[in-house]
């Protein structure tokens, strides 16, 4: 099982990726989770349990043409002001077994998007998390947290 930790203070010199305690020399870390949408693609409550698409991979510097799957396992993203955890230990990475946390709060049932593209080769570093926030009296909200960008 993978236990990956991506850590940055916001610049390339402070950026590290490790797996099970060992440094990973990666050309790219890519994660795209799309969930919690109705039939028209609009965000809705329910997160992963309303259906999802997920890609999570690392392209090693030594051979970027052959990516390595991040899951099954756990990926922790530590960026200034935010910690996001994506976890799925199921051997076949069944989507309903995926869990997502933001700053210690589980957002699995409210996640809409998690997008991470840390690409050293193309000098790209962008990441965001979008969650659906249902309200009882007021209008529901969709909140996007810019993690890197």
Please answer whether residues 25 and 61 qualify as being in contact, where contact means their C-beta atoms are separated by less than 8 angstroms.
yes
- Per the structure, the count of domains in the chain is 1
What pTM, to 2 d.p., does this model score?
0.92
Distance CA 36, CA 95 (A): 12
Phi and psi, residue 58, nearest 5°: -125, 135
Domain extent at residue 90: 2-148
From first to last of its 149 residues, the chain has per-residue pLDDT tens of 999 999 998 878 889 999 999 999 999 999 999 998 888 888 888 999 988 999 999 999 999 999 999 999 999 999 999 999 999 999 999 999 999 999 999 999 999 999 999 998 898 999 999 999 887 777 788 999 999 97
């Amino acid at each position: 099982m993978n236990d990956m930790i991506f850590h940055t203070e916001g610049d390339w010199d402070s950026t590290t990726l490790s797996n099970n305690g060992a440094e990973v020399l990666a050309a790219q870390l890519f994660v795209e989770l799309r969930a919690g949408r109705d039939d028209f693609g609009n965000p809705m409550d329910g997160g992963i349990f309303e259906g999802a698409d997920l890609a999570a991979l690392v392209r090693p510097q030594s051979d970027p043409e052959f990516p390595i799957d991040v899951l099954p396992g756990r990926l922790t993203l530590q960026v200034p002001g935010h910690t996001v955890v994506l976890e799925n230990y199921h051997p076949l990475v069944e989507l309903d077994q995926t869990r997502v946390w933001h700053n210690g709060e589980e957002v699995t049932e409210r996640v809409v998007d998690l997008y991470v593209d840390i690409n050293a080769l193309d000098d790209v570093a962008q990441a965001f998390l979008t969650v659906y926030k249902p309200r009882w009296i007021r209008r529901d909200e969709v909140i996007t947290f810019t993690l890197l960008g």
